[in-house]
């Protein structure tokens, strides 16, 4: 792995402080395990770390990871006293999906100490330290920190075994079981294998999909349209707690013959007055860059930040609905979804460069799935 500056060099100068680690909206194993490793490293310098997120932890494997490893995460509350922190760190993302926290930190005068991530640079934050690498997972970067001596790992110590197990799971999930792993990811996994608990890892991986996740995958199958080897599915309204099912549905659509790219999206309600169009993109086409594709397809918001972005072979987007969030009844919601669904498809088809009327497959539209 390329020799990079180490997070320990930054933390050493901040001994005894209290930091907040901010995760993205719906933390996945890569984000959770990396934050867990960061907390272990920080403890070496007597730095207390709180880990916060804004959305939901709903994927069955994520719930199992948090429970089995005893990882303490806190859901962000606007009433939190951010002024008690001397610094903030962003792990496995660069702040583009948690604007509320970014603005709250700025208001509280909390400096952004570090960003550690493996996605393409987003330029939202200006941290003192930045480690953004073209690897399969952020867990790979933290495994590299550990291997270089951030913590003297000992397989006999439970907390070391747990963090190695978590990081291994983070690498596995973000590289599709090592199928998309880089040489750096594989080297990191080889290092972690000396400390991880294989039985515990097996328990986490073996968690079954929830019924709600299966229902959303079925909805994506019924609503998908295939055009130019793209499988595109709008799935209507989705509960916030089922947000993690959207990337699962995109992964599933990728298994269809002759499909190299899948995009699944839905409308998520976060309370009565806040809704967001959320989507996931997966691709096996090496010449297609999800980060560039989504940024060019959906553009920027009024704040100058892109609605979408990603990394090699995967990406996502989140577009706030704004004034039209909520509504007086189901019929209003159905009409609103029809408009947003058409607009998203229009943007995607325009980016692909095709006329959907002359290319879409003959699969009949699903009935009763607009809700």
d(CA 230, CA 364): 17
Of 3.10.310.30, 3.40.50.150, 3.40.190.290, 3.10.20.30, the CATH number of 211-359 is 3.10.310.30
Q: According to the model, what pLDDT value does residue 273 have?
A: 67
Is the alpha carbon torsion for 199, 166, 283, 312 positive or negative?
negative
d(CA 51, CA 74): 6
The sheet with strand 261-269 has its strands ordered as 225-227, 230-239, 261-269, 275-283, 314-320, 308-311
pLDDT tens-place values along the chain, 371 residues long: 555 667 898 999 999 999 999 998 888 899 999 999 999 999 999 999 999 998 777 677 778 788 877 778 888 988 999 999 999 999 999 988 888 899 999 999 999 999 999 988 887 889 999 999 999 999 999 999 999 999 999 999 999 999 999 999 999 989 988 888 999 999 999 999 999 999 888 888 776 567 788 889 989 999 999 999 999 999 999 888 888 889 889 988 998 889 999 999 999 887 666 789 999 999 999 899 999 999 999 998 888 888 988 877 788 999 988 777 777 777 888 888 999 999 999 999 999 998 766 655 545 444 444 43
Which helix (H) or strand (E) is 236 found in, with range? strand 230-239
Write down the domain spans for the chain: 7-205, 211-359
Of 3.60.150.10, 2.40.50.140, 3.40.50.150, 3.90.1640.10, the CATH number of 7-205 is 3.90.1640.10
Q: Are 298 and 343 in contact (CB under 8 A)?
A: no
Q: According to the model, what pLDDT value does residue 369 have?
A: 40
């Amino acid at each position: 792995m390329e020799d990079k500056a180490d997070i320990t060099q930054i933390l050493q100068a901040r001994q005894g402080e209290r930091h907040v680690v901010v995760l993205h909206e719906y933390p996945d194993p890569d984000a959770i395990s990396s934050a867990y490793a960061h907390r272990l490293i920080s403890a070496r310098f007597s730095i207390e770390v709180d880990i916060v997120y804004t959305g939901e932890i709903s994927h069955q494997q994520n719930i199992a990871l948090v429970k089995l490893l005893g990882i303490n995460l806190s859901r962000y509350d606007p009433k939190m006293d951010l002024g008690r922190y001397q610094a903030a760190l962003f792990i496995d993302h660069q702040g583009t999906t948690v604007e509320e926290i970014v603005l709250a930190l700025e208001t509280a005068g909390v400096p952004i100490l570090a960003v550690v991530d493996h996605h393409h640079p987003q330029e939202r934050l200006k941290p003192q330290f930045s480690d953004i690498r073209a690897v399969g997972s952020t867990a790979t970067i933290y495994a590299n920190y550990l291997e270089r001596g951030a913590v003297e790992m000992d397989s006999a110590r439970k907390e070391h075994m747990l963090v190695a197990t978590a990081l291994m799971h983070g690498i596995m999930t973000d590289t599709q079981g090592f199928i998309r792993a880089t040489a750096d990811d594989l080297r990191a996994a080889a290092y972690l294998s000396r400390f991880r608990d294989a039985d515990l890892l097996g328990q986490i991986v073996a968690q079954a999909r929830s019924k709600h996740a299966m229902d959303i995958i079925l909805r994506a199958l019924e609503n998908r349209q295939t055009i130019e080897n793209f499988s595109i599915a709008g799935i209507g309204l989705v509960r916030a707690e089922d947000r993690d099912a959207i990337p699962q549905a995109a992964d599933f659509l990728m298994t269809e013959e002759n499909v190299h790219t899948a995009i699944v999206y839905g409308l998520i309600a976060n309370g009565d007055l806040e809704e967001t169009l959320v989507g996931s993109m997966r691709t096996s086409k090496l010449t297609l860059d999800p980060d560039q594709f989504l940024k060019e397809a959906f553009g920027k918001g009024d704040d100058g930040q892109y609605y979408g972005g990603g990394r090699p072979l995967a990406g996502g987007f989140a577009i706030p609905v704004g004034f039209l969030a909520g509504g007086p009844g189901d019929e209003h919601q159905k009409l609103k979804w029809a408009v947003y669904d058409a607009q998203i498809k229009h943007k995607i088809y325009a980016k692909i460069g095709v006329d959907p009327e002359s290319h879409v497959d003959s699969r009949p539209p699903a009935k009763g799935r607009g809700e």
